[in-house]
Amino acid sequence: MRHLTGYMIRAAAGPTAFVTMVLTGIIWILQALRFVDEIINYDMSMGAFFYISFLLLPQLLPVTLPIGLFCGMLYAYWRMSSDSELVVMRAAGLSRMALAGPGLLLAGFCAVFVASMTFYFMPMANSTMRDTRFAWKYIYSTVVLREGAFTPLKTRLTVYVAERRSGGELHGLLIHDEREPGKSVTMMAEQGTLIRAEEGPKILLLNGNRQEKDHESGNINVLYFDRYNVEIDLVGSNAPVRVAKIEERTIEDLFLIDPGDFDRATYHRIQAEGHKRVALPLLTIAFALMAIATVLYGEFDRRGVGARIWVGCLSAGLLQAAVLGLTQAAATEPFFNTLVYVLLLAAIAGSLFLMRAGAGMPTPGPAPMAA
């Protein structure tokens, strides 16, 4: 029985992984294309691009894995039915629930994986991705340093770069600084290098001079240097503060909250997000059971189970659409959260009912005695 269980799990795991990878890859590419403008506008490195694109996976897998599991489970049991393997197993005395056991075991592993994504990894990835995008947009951005143009920044700082090269290397720099009241500073340098530090970007000037003018006295002080650091504050004192979104909250932060801390609409959205994360693992189990029930229900037919497969796929599609619709509606009306659980439990119970003893393929009995 252990070898049989392993065989059935492997038969379903391969197609499940393949469909999940294909769906995730397609959606991942479409979602990652949103960050292309940040590569252009904010001079984001390719390493940062792939990093934040990778952080999309914990958001995509809880959606694609249940669909992949349904397709993989449906294909595996259909193939075993077409090859008469299920008939042989039934003739050996295995009940429908025994045949469904390996699929349920795989579904349990997938449900735990989805739960780990929705409860922990998805909010962590969301938070990290938003932090990284915020940092590149407001802290590490070098879009302001245009080649061959005077670029005024938001902090009374004007930068001119004659030539920009790869690796942040700059040539022919002129920086006019009026950030300090009553003084104006002009710096010129033959070369410079852009440095990205935790506190913000800096320009390391090489071989140049610094001219400081006091507006009250009119005196000008000139300093020649070999190396000089200039801090660039791209946003100044009006730096925006990143506000965490609901998607970044952990499962505890979604449910263990005080309703008095939020307005009614926000509280409903937070609760709906929490119930959605709980519903996705249940949807994984429901999809697996629906796929198994689609094949095991009914009598064995050598002509195939094409009609049942179409019905099963349609039912799974309607369930997916209903769950998505109800979770969206629950953001404004909490009652729909209950309907989500009712619908999922009904799908699970209905699938188990269809696989009950006596429904479908009859259990082989003893051969009739010859007269």
d(CA 109, CA 16): 12
Residue 230 has pLDDT above 60, yes or no: yes
Strand partners, 137: none
Residue 177, amino acid: D
Are 246 and 273 a contacting pair, CB within 8 Å? yes
Cβ neighbours for 151, distance < 8 A, ≥ 6 positions apart: 144, 145, 158, 159, 160, 161
51-68 pLDDT tens trace: 878 888 888 999 999 999
Q: Given the structure tokens 């440095």, which residue do they identify?
A: 195
270-309 pLDDT tens trace: 888 899 999 999 999 999 999 998 888 766 555 556 778 8
Mean pLDDT over all residues of the chain?
A: 81
Mean pLDDT of 205-215: 86
Q: Given the structure tokens 């969301």, which residue do they identify?
A: 126
Q: Is 176 helix (H, G, I), strand (E, B) or coil?
A: strand
Strand partners, 288: none
d(CA 31, CA 170): 33
Residue 358 has pLDDT above 50, yes or no: no
Concatenating the DSSP letter of every residue in 94-112 gives: --HHHHHHHHHHHHHHHHH
Concatenating the DSSP letter of every residue in 285-307 gives: HHHHHHHHHHHHSS---TT--HH
Handedness of CA 304, 310, 312, 316 (dihedral sign): positive
Q: Given the structure tokens 């002080």, which residue do they identify?
A: 221
Selection from 255, 333, 324 nearest residue 283 by Cα: 324
Q: Given the structure tokens 């000008």, which residue do they identify?
A: 220
136-157 pLDDT tens trace: 666 555 445 667 878 776 667 7
Across the chain, how many H-helices and E-strands are there? Answer: 11, 6
Task: Name, of 18-27, 182-191, 259-268, 328-337, the range with top average pLDDT.
Answer: 18-27
d(CA 198, CA 135): 9
